[in-house]
């Protein structure tokens, strides 16, 4: 079973944007999957997993995955395990707010972290603290993306003139409806994103801007 076997169209399950990973794999998804699947003992923490499109792809490829999201996707993950004949140690789901991540994954360690389309739902300070924590509980790589100031989401974004530390603003009503984002967000320039990652202790191996104006990065210890 693959993510493409499901009947999902592009939709939002939690009001935190469109769940792209349930429909298709992008370049960061493919790069991370290629890297993780070559390891013998990859154990990946998937943050902001949504309905688990990438989590399923990783588990089917032999990666042990713990997926975390604020939405209730327990039944969806149980269905994945049943149809793909996966045990819970190969694909597990925990519901919770990543702001409280230390309480959700007590005494767990991971080889790698995967986090797409999620970081911008945190304030800059929250993002910095989370990235520092992720560095402590992992041993190898971080694959991460964030919505960029140059993306369509950034059009008419009222936080554009604010400092990164103060930039946490809701979209206007039209854009909120268009992008299904109903919470405040902190959008980044590429330079701000790289600076944040490095300040948290990560070594940025590669960072690029997508055709949609979002920023993607591969980092290591």
Compute the distance between CA of residue 50 and CA of residue 36 in angstroms, rounded to an integer: 20
Buried b / exposed e along 46-56 (16+ C-beta atoms within 10 A): bbbbbbbbbbb
Chain-centroid distance of CA 96 in Å reads 14
Full set of structural domains in the chain with CATH: 3-220 (3.40.50.150)
pTM beyond 0.85:
yes
Compute the distance between CA of residue 106 and CA of residue 197 in angstroms, rounded to an integer: 23
Compute the distance between CA of residue 160 and CA of residue 199 in angstroms, rounded to an integer: 22
Tokens matching residue 54 = 């990438």
The confidence score (pLDDT) of residue 15 equals: 55
The confidence score (pLDDT) of residue 22 equals: 66
Q: Are strands 43-47 and 112-115 parallel, antiparallel or unpaired?
A: parallel
pLDDT mean values, one per 10 residues, the chain (221 residues) = 40 58 82 95 95 94 96 94 89 96 93 97 98 98 97 92 97 89 96 99 98 97 98
The confidence score (pLDDT) of residue 13 equals: 56
Residue 142 pairs in a beta bridge with 113, 219
Please name which of 143, 111, 139 lies closest in space to residue 221, comparing C-alpha atoms. 139
Backbone angles phi, psi at 88, to 5 degrees: -65, -25
């Amino acid at each position: 079973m693959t993510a493409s076997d499901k009947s999902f169209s592009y939709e939002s399950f939690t009001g935190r944007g469109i769940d792209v990973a349930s429909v298709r794999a992008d370049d960061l998804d493919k790069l991370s999957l290629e890297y993780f699947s070559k390891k013998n003992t990859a154990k990946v923490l998937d943050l902001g997993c949504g309905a688990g499109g990438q989590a399923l792809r990783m588990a089917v490829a032999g990666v042990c995955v713990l997926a975390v999201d604020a939405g209730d996707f327990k039944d969806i993950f149980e269905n994945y395990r049943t149809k793909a004949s996966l045990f819970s140690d190969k694909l597990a789901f925990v519901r919770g707010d990543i702001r409280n991540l230390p309480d959700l994954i007590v005494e767990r360690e991971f080889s790698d972290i995967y986090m797409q389309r999620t970081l911008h739902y945190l304030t800059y300070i929250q993002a910095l603290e989370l990235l520092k924590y992720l560095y402590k509980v992992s041993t190898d790589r971080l694959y991460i993306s964030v919505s960029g100031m140059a993306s369509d989401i950034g059009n008419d974004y009222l936080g554009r003139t604010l400092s990164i530390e103060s930039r946490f603003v809701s979209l206007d009503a039209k854009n909120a409806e268009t992008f299904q984002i109903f919470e405040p967000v902190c959008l980044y320039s590429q330079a701000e994103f790289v600076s944040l990652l490095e300040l948290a202790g990560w070594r940025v191996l590669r960072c690029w801007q997508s055709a949609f104006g979002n920023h993607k990065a591969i980092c290591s210890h």
